[in-house]
Amino acid sequence: MGSLGAILKHPEDFYPLLKLKIAARHAEKQIPSEPHWAFCYSMLHKVSRSFGLVIQQLGPQLRDAVCIFYLVLRALDTVEDDTSISTEVKVPILMAFHRHIYDNDWHFSCGTKEYKVLMDEFHHVSNAFLDLGSGYKEAIEDITMRMGAGMAKFICKEVETIDDYDEYCHYVAGLVGLGLSKLFHASGAEDLATDSLSNSMGLFLQKTNIIRDYLEDINEIPKSRMFWPRQIWSKYVDKLEVSRSSLISKFSFIFLIYFSLPAIMDCSNFQDLKYEENSAKAVQCLNDMVTDALVHAEDCLKYMSDLRGPAIFRFCAIPQIMAIGTLALCFNNTQVFRGVVKMRRGLTAKVIDQTKTMSDVYGAFFDFSCLLKSKVDNNDPNATKTLSRLEAIQKTCKESGTLSKRKSYIIESESGHNSALIAIIFIILAILYAYLSSNLPNSL
């Protein structure tokens, strides 16, 4: 759960954090008995506990399909990520990976730790994949083929323009959005979303990850990594030495849910942005990146508003709210270049707990866009564009007619702290009473 200091500062976070902790333990116990499925779900919890938690709300067949989709792309990424594999060996494997998933005798030893186990025991994933319905298998095969080809392409291609950046993000995250839409449709629960909207769902999450993870990536050992496109950073930095680019996975579902795999650049000179004397230029570059990401927000709102199933809706909505919340925190914030900027765990737990309807999504997007708008400096070179995109988001949220029907849990008031603290005390007393009552007969 969250730290004691954070809980004392935000006592209203306690109950959502407690519920999240209980749900996580419950999810870890829901491991199927069949050996290949037991391996897949156990591996899922090892490589992404958050994702293992999120998919539990999906129906059994769709949950199995999404689990295998995730593990197949994880395995594909593990091959791409292993720098010990020569390009001559790696590219053919990436290009043929969509065929390997049908072969339960195929495996390829690479990666480290749990990823090596995944690759060495890949026959379990193949066997589980073969158990899926034909619609699920076709969707997973198609996305795996297209992503493998995209990875192979960007091994030797640099991200220069914003178009390159969008193409790269399409391969590593937009295709995940397309794949999930295909799986939702194959389940019979949803109409097939357009490729454009599905792509934006992935790009919004991926670009948020790239912005948030600047310092982690630039300090990567043995080589620093940079995923910001030259067309943007060159407006603020004079020189950037790039030796190569390739795709390396991050696979972060913010949520917890979509998989992300950023491209890599060796860029030691770009580390200057993290120093105090360059903070003004650094923040302008950062704000430019955030503004670029915001262009996808309206598509995301449209995609989510078209969903019918409550479980699928929550599965998609939670990471999108986390994304715009993270962008609001990162915007105009020099801490991005010096430390970790992320939503506190208590607020994350509240988003997971309380996101149930589209009115919750509109409310969260409106609140976070207001927070972001309040941080826009009129002297910023991108201020006009940033404000225009934020106002477009707010207009969509207002036109939904639902903003007055929800309680804001994103922008909080201090007045709620006392009542929340009282509620927590009652919860603790109730738990203590239940414990003592259950143990009383044994002590007599």
Hey, which residues are catalytic here? Answer: 168, 212, 225, 315
Q: What sign for the dihedral angle of Cα 329, 345, 255, 261?
A: positive
Note the Cα 87 to chain centre separation in Å: 28
Cα-trace Rg, the chain: 22
* Total length of the chain: 444
Distance, in Å, from the CA atom of 50 to the CA atom of 36, rounded to the nearest integer, reads: 21
3-state secondary structure of 247: strand
Q: What sign for the dihedral angle of Cα 152, 158, 162, 165?
A: positive
Q: Name the CA dihedral angle for 184, 188, 190, 191, rounded to a multiple of 10 degrees.
A: 110
Among residues 301, 365, 285, 394, the alpha carbon closest in space to that of 333 is found at: 285
Distance, in Å, from the CA atom of 364 to the CA atom of 400, rounded to the nearest integer, reads: 13
38 phi and psi, to 5 degrees?
-60, -40
13, 424 Cβ separation under 8 angstroms: no
259, 201 Cβ separation under 8 angstroms: no
Q: Which residue has the tokens 């290949």?
A: 36
Q: Is 189 exposed, middle or buried, given 0-12, 13-18 or 19+ CB atoms closer than 10 A?
A: middle
Q: Which residue has the tokens 């994103």?
A: 410
